[in-house]
Structure 1
Amino acid sequence: MTRTVADKRAAFRALHQQGCFVLPNPWDVGSARMLQHLGFAALASTSSGYAWSTGRPDYAVALADVLQHLTSLCEAVDLPVNADFESGFASDPEGVAANVALAVQAGVAGLSIEDRDIEAPVGLYDMAFAVERMRAARAAIDRSGEDVILVARTEGLLHAADAITPAIDRLVAFAAAGADCVYAPGVRDKSHIAAMVRAVAPKPLNVLVMDTRWSVAELADLGVRRISIGGALARAAWAGAWAAAEQIKAGSFEGLAGAIPGRRLNDVFADFA
């Protein structure tokens, strides 16, 4: 049975109330439908994975293309989709608010806004301005009347892995500014994850998998509410294709031996026809 946008948004909201869930990141309609077939409860877009699928680097895709991509993902599956909405594709709060409204219209159940300064890729907006931008995103969602989860991201740990206290301070400020869920990609130490969970409670914490030795159960025990993998699944797919292509270039077709049978893929996608 096809769920409405409102149904998907309500289901996504419920996932944030208790427990822990994995939010895998498809990069196109096919990968989104594969993940629905495998039984995941929700999905998140990946800016890097989508950019690579179009032959561009991360953060080099225009807003119009991203909105079309999000619309396609949301229409293709019965699962809630959380948008990787980068830094809102604007610097000023008014621009962020206008673009968030467009993302809501695309059908997303949630969207994340980063505090990365779009004019300085390795820099962050200062705290006060970043909070102002988050309040603008919150207000835009509220004006829409739609039940869309606002996720606040601070990107500092991706460039300064030991800046835990500043990251926590930003997460707390973003939660107070109206974020429904907070997120500091780059956190690697379990004690730091636990500290983040405590600091932002009762708001849920999202964690990006940075160590493949982690398990869902371990992160759940730390109090993490949701787990995402960013562009890692796309990179795994690229790795398989890259390795097979290198072998073909060298004169061998052995790299194709582990390919999924076409019939199996046809059976999966036939369910969506």
Structure 2
Amino acid sequence: MTTATTERCAAFRRLHHTDRPLLLPNAWDHASGAALARRGFRALGTTSLGVAAAAGLPDATGAAREETLALARGLARLPVLVSVDIEGGFSDRPEEVAVLAAELAAAGVVGVNIEDGRSEGTLAPLGRQCEVITAVKERVPELFVNARTDTHWFPALAGETAPPLSAALERAEAYVRAGADGVFVPGLTDEKDIATLVRDLGQAPLNVLFAPGRHRYEVLAELGVGRVSCGSLLFRAALHRAVELAWSIEHPDADPSNLLSYEQAQTLSYDFEAELPEDPPITG
């Protein structure tokens, strides 16, 4: 890692320890990242759903590894600090995840997001996930590792009640002991639970996934949250706006539909496969 990247990693770390949360918008391609950088955001992340869906691939399965790497290399050349969502690490072997992290750091990336959720709706074994985090930090100690736990995310997607906060806290504390610099609990919306996690995590900043209608940035700041991520929100909003704008040309009186859900965006990679002819015509 170059001296410049080491300094950028330190700058990124400091952004998590101010009196206001780091607002981290998430890009899905180079153009979206460049536009966010031009708007003045100091840092940005990537969205694994956006990267995968834009390539016609499913999220959280490891299928978009090469697309993620290619995007990261390009974004790291922009005048903005870049953290990359690497899903579960694109490997079950801690040493291979560490090699990937080192490759990203060599390209100028300052952070990674590693999740414990698996595509079949289960959580990775706690011990193995801790081994992954430790391996990454031993290989690239300067890199900011944001350890994500999906204890609340899977119930949120299914419309179910979240488990006791202790489930997230157990994993969060274990990940911090393993070397994680911050903890990410998507699906966490209850203000009391957020305040409890902030308190119990101590110096490790809590990352919250912004939920429109459920969160307010100023309230999250008051609760002590260190980072607020947009996840796939911007990607889904961009798709929604583009589709509705195109539709409105021919149907000016049409009512706009709801924003694409995570599940709807996820199925874009295979929703129409059964309907496609064997040799679809080229339409430009």
Q: TM-score range by the shorter chain?
A: 0.7 to 0.9
1:50 and 2:51 aligned: yes
Offset, 1:4: 4.7
1:196: which partner in 2? 197
In 1, distance between residues paired with 2:195 and 2:237? 28
Q: Is the 8 A contact 1:188 1:211 kept in 2?
A: no
- Which secondary structure does the structure 2 equivalent of 1:82 belong to? strand
CA shift in 2, pair 1:139/1:53, >3 Å: same
| Offset at residue 252 of structure 1 (A) | 4.0
TM-score normalised to structure 2 length: 0.80
- 3-state SS of 1:59 partner: coil
Whether the 8 Å CA contact 1:25–1:230 is kept in 2: the answer is yes
How many corresponding residue pairs?
Answer: 244
1:68 aligned to which of 59, 70, 77 = 70
What RMSD in Å do the two structures reach over aligned CA positions? 2.1
Distance apart, 1:254 and its partner CA? 8.2
Structure 2, unmatched stretches of 5+, are 156-161, 255-284
| 2:153 aligned to which of 158, 163, 183 | 158
Matches within 5 A, 1:73-88: 73-75=75-77, 77-88=78-89
Cα offset for 1:17?
2.5
2:23 paired residue number? 22
Whole-Å separation in 2 of the counterparts to 1:252 and 1:207: 38
1:50, CA displacement in angstroms?
Answer: 1.5
Matched, 1:9 2:9: yes
Deviates further, 225-234 or 127-136: 127-136
Match of 1:179 in 2: 180
Give ranges in structure 1 of 5+ residues lacking alignment: 256-273
Partner of 2:262: none
Is 1:149 aligned to residue 148 of structure 2? no
CA displacement 1:243-267 (0-9 Å, x = unmatched): 123334xx34789xxxxxxxxxxxx
Look up the equivalent residue of 1:10 and give its one-letter code: A
Mapped partners of 1:153, 1:97: distance in 2 = 16
Contact 2:183/2:207, CA 8 A, preserved across alignment: yes
Q: Distance in 2 between matches of 1:97 and 1:110?
A: 13
Q: Indicate if the aligned counterparts of 1:71 and 1:106 stay in contact, CA closer than 8 A.
A: yes
Q: Distance in 2 between matches of 1:180 and 1:67?
A: 22
Distance in 1, Cα, partners of 2:253 & 2:10: 47
User: How far apart, CA to CA, are the structure 2 residues paired with 1:59 and 1:183?
Assistant: 16
- 2:268 aligned residue: none
Maintained 8 Å contact 1:156/1:163: no
TM-score (norm 1): 0.83
What is residue 102 of structure 1 aligned with on the other side? 103
For residues 190 and 28 of structure 2, the distance between their equivalents in structure 1, rounded to whole angstroms, comes to 28
Q: Following TM superposition, by how much is the alpha carbon of 1:154 offset from its aligned partner in structure 2, in angstroms?
A: 0.6
Residues 157, 163 of structure 1: 8 Å contact kept: no
The residue that corresponds to 2:121 in the other structure is: 122
Structure 2 residue aligned with 1:36: 37
Measured in 1, the distance between the counterparts of 2:111 and 2:76 equals 11
Identity of aligned residues (%): 36
Match of 2:213?
212
Deviations 1:118-141 (A, max 9, x none): xx5311112222212221121121
